[in-house]
Amino acid sequence: MSAAPGFLTEREARFLALAAACVPAQGVILEIGSFKGKSTVGLASVAARYRLGKVVAVDPHTAPSSTDPGLGGQASSFDDFRHTLTRAGLTDHVEVHRKFSHELATRWDRPIRLLWIDGDHTYPGAKQDLDLFAPHLAPGGVVALHDVLHNFAGPIRVFVEDVLGSDRYGPAGCCGSIGWAQHRPVDGASARFREARGALARRAARLIPLSERGRDLRGVAKLRYKLQRALVPHGGADPETWAQLTSDV
Ligand SMILES: C[S@@+](CC[C@H](N)C(=O)[O-])C[C@H]1O[C@@H](n2cnc3c(N)ncnc32)[C@H](O)[C@@H]1O
């Protein structure tokens, strides 16, 4: 993963690999937003190692949204994506869909064990991805959204309102800028999960109005964003603790 171009920190990469390996649910790993393949390589190497089937990766590779990374004059990230997979020896472990997530959703009928959302970071885009694919999360499966703590309007609002605010999810947290939660349709409404999700939501919600001001925060607003972000727990996940937390489905 560290050799692949992309936008994950080491802490986030480790968390993603941990989730891919340890989520106690059956189903596929779905990645929305591959760019040049950094997270794809991490997910696919875990899937190959533990025989979890092919990672499904969807991306039109045209960086269509204003919140997407620039392509530096390239028309598409697709060639770099393919090159990353080939160099990692993982081409056979990824089911590639060169299209928008909503196009993939029209025929989607497979249960999902890990839903990794790192596509369109606008609010309508992130909301659409959760709305289209969360209904397919297997019980015990995990949804993880990237950039919830990176001043994009979509991921933080969707994480706070639609994930942390929903009794369909149990354990939840942030690791780096990844916001994650486990799908627990049976016991998500229990007091222990509700209270923990609520406490995280109250802190994270303070970032929403600042994120809606646009990417280029300055001065006092920028300081306030950094301060509020520091108050959201987002340290590394200890593998044993995390696996334990998510295991009693
Ligand atoms: C932040 S990058 C993904 C980074 C990647 N996960 C990594 O580890 O480097 C966002 C990607 O989402 C893709 N994207 C944007 N809107 C999308 C959509 N509606 N469906 C699928 N992918 C989308 C863009 O083309 C871009 O490559």
Please give the pLDDT value at position 67. Answer: 59
Nearest CA to ligand 1 atom 18: 100
pLDDT above 80: residue 73: no
Nearest CA to ligand 1 atom 21: 59
Note if 136 is an active site residue.
no
Pairwise pLDDT comparison (68 vs 88), residue with the higher score: 88
- 68: CA distance to ligand 1 center in Å? 7
What would the pLDDT profile of 35-58 be if each residue is shown by its tens digit?
999 999 999 999 999 999 999 999
Residue 208 maps to a domain: yes
Residue 4 maps to a domain: no
Can you tell me which atom of ligand 1 is nearest the CA of 116?
A: 6
Q: Which residue has the tokens 């890990």?
A: 114
Name residue 160's amino acid: V
- Among 94, 120, 178, name the best residue to mutate to test ligand 1's pocket (greatest count of ligand atoms within 8 A of Cβ): 120
Residue 156 maps to a domain: yes
Nearest CA to ligand 1 atom 11: 33
Over residues 152-158, mean pLDDT? 96
Residues with CB under 6 A from ligand 1: 6-8, 32-35, 38-39, 58-65, 68-69, 77, 100-101, 118-120, 125
Which range of residues forms the domain containing residue 129?
A: 10-233
Q: How many domains does the chain have?
A: 1
Residue 132 maps to a domain: yes
Residue 29 maps to a domain: yes
Domain of residue 158, CATH code: 3.40.50.150
Residue 69 maps to a domain: yes
Residue 246 maps to a domain: no
First to last CA, the chain: 30
- Among 40, 59, 130, 151, name the best residue to mutate to test ligand 1's pocket (greatest count of ligand atoms within 8 A of Cβ): 59
- 240: CA distance to ligand 1 center in Å? 30
- Give the other-Cβ count within 10 Å of 90's Cβ: 21
Give me the sign of the Cα torsion angle 198, 202, 203, 205: positive
Over residues 69-78, mean pLDDT? 78
Residue 60 near residue 69 (C-beta atoms within 8 A): no
Residue 1 maps to a domain: no
Please give the pLDDT value at position 7. Answer: 84
Can you tell me which atom of ligand 1 is nearest the CA of 101?
A: 20
Please give the angle made by the CA atoms of 144, 146 and 95, to the nearest 5 degrees.
Answer: 70
Can you tell me which atom of ligand 1 is nearest the CA of 62?
A: 25
Please give the pLDDT value at position 247. Answer: 95
Would you give the DSSP letter of residue 98? -
